[in-house]
Amino acid sequence: MAVTSPANTGGRWRALSFYGMKTGKLIATVAVTFLGLLVVTFLIGRVVPVDPVLAVVGDRASQSTYDAAYQALGLDKPLYHQFWIYLKDALSGDLGTSILTKKPITEDIARVFPATLELATAGIILGTIFGIPLGIWGAVRQGKLPDQIIRVVGLVGYSAPIFWLGLLGLLVFYAKLGWVAGPGRIDIAYEYSVTQITGLLLIDTAIQGQWDAFRNVLAHLALPAILLGYFSMAYISRMTRSFMLAELAQEYIIAARVKGVAEWRIIWVHALRNAAVPLVTVIALSYAGLLEGSVLTETVFAWPGLGQYLTNSLQNADMNAVLGGTLVIGIIFVGLNLLSDLLYTVLDPRVRRRG
């Protein structure tokens, strides 16, 4: 963040304390956000009418086996006490153990999150690459045929159930045409020849120079990524169109036209530059949405990601897993929000000056 340097020490001190306060405020906001998030998730977890002990001892255990598990989970303690213990452990980096997978939550999340990250990133890249130009095209040709077509395509993206589209996609492109690979992240044949380093299989296979496996991963990723990309494209193009329409109606555009600036320059440089500011938030939020893990897409494509993990945990009242997953999602949202704030200052000189 560029600031004009103050002329004297007093000014420098003021600037420092200004940034200090700003950082302090930011930390406080983030802390309160996380605390609120945890309290709400914790309470929801306790209100859900599912007995977590069932997931541990099963349906047929005797009362004494049940009681032992009940105590081992700390459920005999008062709610505030349970929460306090959780919070203390969480602050020291221990998110507890999953009652379903019997593994530390951090280990579980480290295993499932890269799958979601890879898919969501591919999806958002596709969504942005296609969404922005389509939105611009729709705005420029407002009310004409291209605009109508883009709107219909977007509408299908909005309203068609992803579950159905996913199965249809598999049927056509996997079963009939054989253009893409089937459900799962990688073929069994490559499964054990690739060492997982980052957990992002595209990167892992590339690092290890296993190009056959890389192509296989790409073939598995293509369809779900295109599908998620399509959904975010529908949203991004719609928002781009409306931001662009608003910009194109501004007086500076008229002024530019009067000055004889080339039309492509007006659209791509003048209008888009200004529309880009709110668009950053739209893209960041779409990305965050995809990173939560799309449980339906993950189910259809047998994609072992965060969405499936969280849903399964919630259904079994595996609260440590649910809280851990919620924390990760919280961090993603806060992180992407901060990132889009930063991008604001890059894209919008006014914000820079105010800063």
Partner 1 sequence: MRRVSRLIASAAVSATLGIGATPVFAETPPDTLIQAWQLDDIISLDPAEVFEFTASELLGNSYQPLVGYNVEDVSDLFGVIAESWEVSEDGKTFSFVIRPDLKFASGNPITAADAVFSLHRAVKLDKSPAFILTQFGLSAGNVEEKIRQTGDMTFELEMDKAYAPTLLLYCLTATVGFIVDKELVMSNETGGDMGYEWLKTNYAGSGAFTIRDWRANEVVVLERNDGFSGDAPAMARAIYRHIPEGSTQRLLLEKGDIDIARNLGAEEMDALADNPDIKIESGIKGSIYYLGLNQKNENLSKPEVREAMKYLVDYQTIADTIMKGKVKVHQAFLPEGFLGALNENPYALNVEKAKELLAEAGLPDGFSVTMDTRNTPEITAIAEAIQQTMAEAGIQMELIPGDGQQTLTKYRARNHDIYIGRWGPDYQDPHTNADTFARNPDNSDDAESKPLAWRNAWDIPEMTAKADAAVLEKDADKRAEMYLELQKEHQQVSPFVIMFQEIEVLGIRDDVNGFIIGPSFNDNSFRKVTKD
Q: Of 72-101, which residues contact partner 1 (CB under 8 A)?
A: 99-101
CA–CA gap between residue 293 and residue 109 (Å, rounded): 12
Which of 30, 70, 111, 261 is the binder for partner 1 (CB under 8 A)? 111
Residue 92 DSSP SS3:
coil
User: What tokens appear for 283 in the block?
Assistant: 């893209």
In the complex, the smallest distance separating the C-beta of residue 182 from partner 1, rounded to whole angstroms, is 5
> Which residue of 179, 250, 252, 338 would you call a contact of partner 1, by CB under 8 A?
179
Q: Give dist(CA 164, CA 222) in Å, integer.
A: 17
Query: Which one, 104 or 335, has the nearer CB to partner 1?
Result: 104
Euclidean distance between CA atoms 206 and 215, whole angstroms: 10
Stretch of 1-9, 127-135, 284-292, 347-355 lying at the interface with partner 1 (CB under 8 A): 127-135
CB nearer to partner 1: pick between 274 and 340: 274
- Number of residues binding to partner 1, judged by CB under 8 A: 72
Q: Of the ranges 79-87, 213-221, 279-287, 325-333, which one interacts with partner 1 (CB under 8 A)?
A: 213-221
Q: Which residue among 30, 61, 125, 253 contacts partner 1 (CB under 8 A)?
A: 61
Beta bridge partners of 104: 97
User: Which 3 state secondary structure label does DSSP give 104?
Assistant: strand
Contact between 175 and partner 1 by CB under 8 A: the answer reads yes
**354 part of the interface to partner 1, by CB under 8 A:** no
Q: For partner 1, which is the closer residue by CB, 289 or 305?
A: 305
Q: At which residue do the structure tokens 């296993």 appear?
A: 210
The first and second tokens of residue 327, run together, are 């924390």
Counting contacts by CB under 8 A, is residue 46 touching partner 1? no
* 153 is a contact residue toward partner 1 (CB under 8 A): no
Residues of span 255-284 touching partner 1 by CB under 8 A:
263-264, 267
8 binds partner 1 (CB under 8 A): no
Task: Give min distance, CB of 152 to partner 1, in A.
Answer: 16
Nearest Cα to Cα of residue 194 among 216, 223, 174, 179:
216
Contact 181, 216 (CB under 8 A): yes
Rounded CA-CA distance 222/215 in Å is 10
Q: For partner 1, which residue of 30, 73, 121, 133 counts as binding (CB under 8 A)? A: 133
In 3D space, the residue among 330, 320, 314, 331 whose CA is nearest the CA of residue 96 turns out to be: 320
Half-sphere exposure of 151 (CA within 13 A, CB side): 12
- Beta-ladder partners of 97: 104
Q: Is 308 in the site for partner 1 (CB under 8 A)?
A: yes
